[in-house]
A and B are shown apart, each in its own frame.
Chain A
Amino acid sequence: MIIAERKPMEEIRREIAPYKKILVAGCGTCVTVCWAGGEKEVGILASQLRLAGSSEGKEVVTLEATVERQCEKEMLAELRDKVEGVDAVLSLACGAGVQTMAGFFEDKPVFPAVNTTFIGMPEKEGLWVEMCGACGDCYLDRTGGVCPVVRCAKGLLNGPCGGTRKGGKCEINPDEDCAWVVIYRRLEKQGRLDLMREYCAPKNARAVKRPGRIHAAKA
């Protein structure tokens, strides 16, 4: 799942400063789940913007809407009427959603209200951790299902850096587990420790040719 977090208020206000009537648009999928851009967050942001406006003596009119997925043109169609009536759109979707919106309503400025940060999972209520760097060159078969590219602070592919702390904690962030300790334990459990001896060639940094484009062969 894509994880995002709200941009600093100052930045958001700078984005929309020239406009009076704004559509605050949420997305009902990833950013809802990570508490960054669902219907609830749309309501809160809109409310905060109205408050900001009133405290400056400037009237800000907000419309609110949340679609199931902003990264689907078809799902944006329902917003047409609302978008036509505003000066700008503030999107709480991930980068893909913002761009789809911007492309779909080309004559309206569309601004991001969140920073799309990583692909991750919820560790517990309200805490998300990065799991995947979308590098296009998956190593997980060799590492017991633990990605060292993002879960090792240094992105090392061939074992730990040597700075692992007592209790298997990371040298850089003592609150985090050292990814390579996790990998070792996992492989040990599975009797596949021999994999630790296998050399991993340097990562292919261009595994995904930008811009990425995947064509499903099946259809």
Chain B
Amino acid sequence: MMMDGIIVAFCCERSGYPAADLAGRLRLHYPENLRVIRVPCAGRVDVIHIMKAFEMGASAVVVLGCEEGACHHMTGNTRARERVRYCDTMLREVGIEKRTAVMVNISPNAPHKFVTAAVETSKILEDLREAR
């Protein structure tokens, strides 16, 4: 598969994206398999975007939005959270157990949290792979 092992990270340009930049500037290393797609708000991320990423073979999709209660557009991050949950359910519905969709709330000045999210998602994937 084309994207096997890839983590697609949809990053809100107000939070996840600058956090990822900071991680880079601090040379905090994280798994190379992460591909960031910049969005104006986590609320822009549609179910179909996440599903297409899985279709293309992504092992995980992470949506990074602002902390709950601090979305610049009030509800964008909570909507994203629900969509991510729905996508994860849809994967399970069709018997896909080894891939996952994850929501991460983050602030623009939290590079360590970004790295943790990347590392932990990789770890989840490893655990899922070993589960059977």
Footprint of B on A, CB under 8 Å?
Answer: 9-10, 13, 40, 43-44, 47-52, 54-56
Q: Which residues of B contact A48 (CB under 8 A)?
A: 51, 90, 93-94
B91 beta carbon closer than 8 Å to chain A:
yes
Q: Which residues of A contact B54 (CB under 8 A)?
A: 47, 51
Contact A55 B96 (CB under 8 A): yes
Q: Which residues of B contact A13 (CB under 8 A)?
A: 94
B21 beta carbon closer than 8 Å to chain A:
no
B48 beta carbon closer than 8 Å to chain A:
yes
Footprint of A on B, CB under 8 Å?
Answer: 46-48, 51-52, 54-55, 90-91, 93-96
Q: Which residues of B contact A10 (CB under 8 A)?
A: 93
Contact A51 B48 (CB under 8 A): no
Q: Which residues of A contact B90 (CB under 8 A)?
A: 9, 44, 48, 51
Given A48-B90, A48-B94, A51-B55, list of 8 further CB < 8 A pairs? A9-B93, A47-B51, A48-B51, A51-B90, A51-B96, A52-B95, A54-B55, A55-B96
CA A55 – CA B94 in complex, angstroms? 8
Contact A44 B47 (CB under 8 A): yes
Q: Which residues of A contact B52 (CB under 8 A)?
A: 47
CA A11 – CA B62 in complex, angstroms? 29
Q: Which residues of A contact B47 (CB under 8 A)?
A: 40, 44
Report the minimal beta-carbon distance from B87 to chain A, rounded to whole angstroms.
9
Contact A56 B95 (CB under 8 A): yes
Report the minimal beta-carbon distance from A31 to chain B, rounded to whole angstroms.
16
Contact of B48 among A9, A40, A52, A56 (CB under 8 A): A40
Instruction: Give 23 pairs: A residue, B residue, CB < 8 Å, sorted on A.
Output: A9-B90, A9-B94, A40-B46, A40-B48, A44-B48, A47-B48, A47-B52, A47-B55, A48-B51, A48-B90, A48-B93, A48-B94, A49-B94, A50-B55, A51-B51, A51-B55, A51-B90, A51-B91, A51-B96, A52-B94, A55-B94, A55-B96, A56-B95
Q: Which residues of A contact B91 (CB under 8 A)?
A: 51
Contact A55 B51 (CB under 8 A): no
Q: Which residues of B contact A9 (CB under 8 A)?
A: 90, 93-94
Q: Which residues of B contact A55 (CB under 8 A)?
A: 94-96
Q: Which residue of B lies closest to A50 (CB)?
A: B55
Q: Which residue of B lies closest to A53 (CB)?
A: B94
Q: Which residue of B lies closest to A48 (CB)?
A: B90
Contact B96 A44 (CB under 8 A): no
Report the minimal beta-carbon distance from B59 to chain A, rounded to whole angstroms.
13
Q: Which residue of B lies closest to A56 (CB)?
A: B95
Report the minimal beta-carbon distance from B36 to chain A, rounded to whole angstroms.
22
